[in-house]
Amino acid sequence: MQGEAPVAVIGAGVVGTACARALQRAGRRVLLVDPSPPGSLCSAGNAGHIAIEQVQPLARPEMIAAVPRMLAHPQGPLTLRWRGLPAMLPWFLRMAAASRPGRVEAGTLALAALLRDAVADWRDLLDTPDLAALLRYEGAIAVTESEAGRRAAEAEAAIMAAHGVRLESLGPAEVAARIPGLSAPVTGGQFFPEAAHAVEPQRLVRDLAARFAAEGGEILAQPVTGLRREGGRIAAVETPGGERAAESVILAAGLASARLAPMLGLRLPLTAERGYHAMLPPGSVPLPCPVAFAERGFIATPIEHGTRLAGTVELGAAGRAPDWSRAEILVRHARDLFGPVPEAASRWQGDRPTLPDYLPALGPVPGLANAVVATGHQHLGLTLAATTARLVSALVTSGTPGLDLTPFDPARFGRH
């Protein structure tokens, strides 16, 4: 291992754990710091879909135009806790600014470049037989139920294809043949043959962390309370248990990154974009692969202990109790689409760390020689974790990530 002090990775979600493992494989001593067990927060209940097709940022004009309609629909994919609105107004204004056509085009180019190797990077990171079995490579399907939905999906598919996403357009009969349990009428869909999904997202993070620990990595169950500077470097990570020297520091703490970013001289306007899932028992909905229903705002993924119905966006809910009716809506959608299904075996909620332009903060910290930020991956945390890990490892070990990270500059929202 190189260096006496370890690289300190702050945050043991899927992004931080992937970064820790990639740095370990590159020959670095690594300290993974998080008060919560690996994969126990937002990474615990995501949809499990490696969403290589989502090349467009969600901050774009048509999404903003659809907000009133979505909010008006009681079972729609978006809800807003009105008491949280005043605190979110600055974030909404930044999102509106990011939705200008020029910025959407630039953001699409940037996201597409990140997503291009997402599946290959996961294959590389899961480098042992036990880890390799944590992903399945069966593609994914997106289904439309209305003519308007079909036209919108076709327009989006053209953008995806222009940015290198392989897809096959499906007619209603082809959708029915691929998803024989689907009983609702559909207007078409797309099949993404290069997509993948996790057999169980939380187990993926836990097993990756276990491999990291088994090969000499250290996991410290402590919160970070400070970062000690020496000149233009971070010299140590401070925790309630004491100070730990650090060769480099990686901030990959999800929502907690907003609190920690000022220690690096940054402002990261992260919001808690809450999502829900409902788990159906095994055999409830036979699916060949993840199936997304864009007009309903959710995806159904076959995982090892049932079918996960995941999605919805709830804004302004930070610090507030879950609204479990949002999870029940997912079950009702499944009944509309597949006929009678049992009650959910379990349900979950988690807060996605989302920046207003729907691009991650990824890259070196200006003014600090040994600090890197890797956070704010919104709906794409699992999808981009291995790619982020590869880029972070390259930044730490050689200083050259091999990809232009300017669009993801952690300082783009200002300095603290």
43 vs 243, more confident: 243
What is the model's pLDDT at position 298? 95
- Per DSSP, the three-state class of 362 is strand
Kindly state the average pLDDT of the residues 217-238: 97
Mean pLDDT (whole number) for 244-272: 97
Q: Which of 272, 291, 234 is nearest to 350 (CA)?
A: 272
d(Cα 29, Cα 386) in Å, to the nearest integer? 19
Task: Give the pLDDT confidence of 260-304 residue by residue, as tens digits.
Answer: 999 999 999 999 999 999 999 998 998 999 999 989 999 999 999
Start and end residues for every CATH 3.50.50.60 domain found in the chain: 2-44+203-268+358-408
Residue 204: per-residue pLDDT:
97
Give dist(CA 56, CA 52) in Å, integer.
Answer: 11
Report the C-alpha dihedral over residues 216, 239, 13, 160, rounded to 10 degrees. -110
Output the pLDDT for position 76. Answer: 81
pLDDT (tens digit, 9 = 90+) per residue, 327-371?
A: 999 999 999 999 999 999 999 999 999 999 999 999 999 999 999
Mean pLDDT computed over every residue of the chain: 95
- Which residue do the tokens 């990011």 mark? 98
Identify the DSSP state of 75: T
**Nearest Cα to Cα of residue 66 among 75, 54, 76, 56:** 76
Other CB atoms within 10 A of residue 173 CB: 10
Q: What is the pLDDT of residue 142?
A: 98
pLDDT given for residue 416 in this prediction = 83
CB neighbour list of residue 223: distance below 8 Å, 6 or more residues apart: 35, 239, 240
66 pLDDT above the threshold of 90:
no
1 confidence band (pLDDT: 50, 70, 90) = very low
63 confidence band (pLDDT: 50, 70, 90): confident
Q: Residue 67: pLDDT band by 50, 70, 90 thresholds?
A: confident
CATH 3.30.9.10 spans which residues of the chain? 52-196+270-354
Q: Is the Cβ–Cβ distance between 275 and 314 less than 8 Å?
A: yes
CATH number for the domain running over 2-44+203-268+358-408: 3.50.50.60
Paired with 374 in beta bridges are 362
* Burial of residue 362 (number of CB atoms within 10 Å: 0-12, 13-18, 19+): buried
**Average pLDDT value for residue range 33-48:** 94
CB 32 within 8 A of CB 219: yes
**DSSP H helix total and E strand total for the chain:** 12, 21
Contact by Cβ (8 Å): 114, 168: no
152 token code pair:
């919108």
User: Is residue 3 scored above 70 in pLDDT?
Assistant: no
d(CA 196, CA 52): 9
CA distance 26 to 127: 13
- Among the listed ranges 68-72, 103-107, 190-194, 224-228, which one has the minimum average pLDDT value? 68-72
Taking a C-beta distance cutoff of 8 angstroms, is the pair 157, 54 a contact?
Answer: no
pLDDT for res 126: 97
* 52-196+270-354 under CATH 3.10.20.880, yes or no: no
What is the mean pLDDT of the segment spanning 98-119? 97
**Residue at token pair 């990171």:** 125
pLDDT at 78: 87
pLDDT, residue 83, reads 87
Q: Does the pLDDT at position 2 exceed 50? A: no
Structure confidence by residue, pLDDT tens digits, 387-405: 999 999 999 999 999 999 9
Residue labelled with tokens 């979110």: 88
pLDDT for 242:
96
Q: Which long-range contacts (CB under 8 A, 24 or more apart) does 99-107 make?
A: 99/59, 99/60, 99/61, 99/63, 99/64, 101/61, 103/59, 103/357, 104/56, 104/57, 104/59, 104/60, 104/61, 106/407, 107/56, 107/57, 107/59, 107/357, 107/358, 107/359, 107/407
The single-letter DSSP state of residue 160 is H
d(CA 35, CA 221): 4
